Amino acid sequence: MTETDTPRPPDDPFLAVVVPAALAGERVDRGVAMVSGCTRSEASDLIAAGDVWLDGVVVAKASQRLDTDGVLILAVDPHREPEPLRADGSVEFEVVYSDDDIIVIDKPAGLVVHPGPGHQGSTLVHGLLARFPDLDPERGDVVGEAHRPGLVHRLDRGTSGLMVVARTPDAHADLVEQLSTHAVERVYTALVWGHPAHDHAIIDAPVGRSRRNPLRMTVAIDGRPARTHVTVDERFDSPWDTALLTCELETGRTHQIRVHLDSIGHAVVGDDLYGPRRGSVRLDRPFLHARRLEFVHPDTGESVAFESPLPPDLRSVLDGLVPVEPG
């Protein structure tokens, strides 16, 4: 096996945790069961399938012992019978467009896209099932993954903007292929701290999960390839040095824009996970909005494009900034 063939932890695991002191010295199978709530048998099956990592290495034996502060990663849900999805009509989001094949939505900030270990309450998926019952795996064909019906890509909880959802297996396969070949145009607006040195840049840096903090991604030599195209639209010098950027994804890794911008010293304003904490900014989420989405319609073969205006909370922050005087 070559170095590039060596298995590595997934970028989007079911669960990633730092081993607490209380579990130091415990067997890995017991630790997996305790942090995920699954049975020891389910934990053992997950380990046997090669879906458990400890500090970036696949766990080979269930009897292996845990160390304090080690990073334990579960690639998939160890529970044999995941909780069934239930439609929830109270979930609020805007449907920008829909037909028999696709749904384009404008996701509000704060809405989680799908259930996971960090959030088992109502999500966008639950809301989609209420408005589009045909997506329910129990009513017909499974579109994509049963626990994420229709989803072909995601937005972070704090990111607002456009997403496309598939309504049929064929549409799902087509859109996934377009994403994998970088044929989908995804354009974001971001406000960052400081003034980038260049008006145009391509950030080409692999992104992987941080071994120090499993909640964070980072630029890592063994990460997955990632490219972000960045253009400075406007610079501001009051009340803070900031810049408004257009970011276009060539790839779509977890937290890609946030990680890439932080890696060049210009973290997204409002991003407490990657950027500096500044209480003077009245924003409880990253200033990041997916404003444009363009792709080929999976049925008609025609290019379709959608735009989303900047939400009021972001607009309010932008209106309070003073542009740099020319010259």
Task: Match 């749904």 to its residue by tokens.
Answer: 103
7 shares a domain with 34 = yes
Number of structural domains (the chain) is 3
Reported as a single tens digit per residue, the pLDDT across 76-89 is 888 776 677 889 99
pLDDT for position 10: 80
Q: Which of 51, 156, 174, 271 is the catalytic position?
A: 156
Please, are residues 162 and 104 in contact by the beta-carbon 8 Å criterion?
Answer: yes
pTM of the model: 0.81
Query: Is residue 285 a contact partner of residue 109, using CB atoms and an 8 Å limit?
Result: yes
Do 211 and 90 sit in the same domain of this protein? no
**CA gap 119, 131 in Å, rounded:** 21
Note the pLDDT of residue 246.
98
User: Residue 4's pLDDT is what?
Assistant: 47
**189 lies in the same domain as 225:** yes
What pLDDT sits at residue 2? 46
Annotated catalytic, 100?
no
| Last residue within a domain, chosen from 145, 161, 180 | 180
Q: What is the CATH number of the domain that holds 295?
A: 3.30.2350.10
Q: Are residues 318 and 210 in the same domain?
A: yes
Stretches where the chain sits below pLDDT 50 are 1-4
Query: The tokens 């319609």 sit on which residue?
Result: 297
Helix (H, G, I), strand (E, B) or coil at 75: coil
Residue 91: other Cβ atoms inside 10 A: 20
Same domain? 104 vs 51: no
Which residue, of 27, 51, 74, is where some domain finishes?
A: 74
Range of the domain at 18: 3-74
Phi, psi values for residue 180, rounded to 5°: -70, -25
Burial class (CB in 10 A: 0-12, 13-18, 19+), 256: buried
pLDDT one-digit tens code per residue, 227-239: 999 999 999 999 9
CA atoms within 13 A on the CB side of 49: 12
